[in-house]
Amino acid sequence: MQKLFLVIGVKKLVWLSVLFLLLTFPALAQSDYRADGFVGYSFLRNEGTSQSVNTNGWHGGISADFVKGFGFAVEVSGHYGSLTQYTVLAGPRFTLSGNRASVFSQFMVGFANLRGNLQEFGVPPENKSKTFRVESFGGGLDIHLNKKFAVRVFQADIIFNHPIPGRTDMNIRLSSGIVYRFSK
């Protein structure tokens, strides 16, 4: 049942991303925005087999547009608590940028490293560290302070961890922070 939910949920997210991209085309000429760098606070709710772990940490990334409204992003994050998770993701980003705000949607793939007591996550007790594949769907809102700086009010991502073959954990990451905009 969970696999069916994930397949249906992933299809809806893909269609929403395509719809978002189509809706951004009329607004592409409104800005000369080309690239940005982000750093900030991040909260990650990591779902295990019988427990959920809330962790706090940092989140950073860079993105660049190939054409106005469509580009590529790379993100890294670290979250700490009873478990530690480092994540590296990369993928396409769709951005609608106006004079005062920008919204974006993205799909990313990469890997994560989980450290700590991993038995609840299906990892044998002798392993204290596990690296695995992840995918992420998400988006966010930036409010422009001036031409160079913006505040990322929120970024929300659903991260799909694959700690062992045949298993997918759905995690939530929420972030906010400062954006430096590399514009003309």
Q: Which CATH number characterizes residue 145's domain?
A: 2.40.160.20
- Give the global pTM: 0.77
Domain of residue 139 covers 2-183
With b for 16 or more beta-carbon neighbours within 10 A and e for fewer, the 105-129 pattern comes to: bbbbebebebebebebbebeeeeee
The secondary structure of residue 100, as a DSSP letter, is S
Domains of the chain: total = 1
* Residue-by-residue pLDDT tens, the chain, 184 positions: 444 444 455 555 555 555 554 554 454 445 555 789 999 999 999 876 567 889 999 999 999 988 888 999 999 999 998 888 999 999 999 999 888 999 999 999 999 998 877 776 666 666 678 888 999 999 999 999 998 999 999 999 999 988 777 778 889 999 999 999 886 5
SS3 70: strand
Helical residues (DSSP H) of the chain, grouped into ranges: 2-24
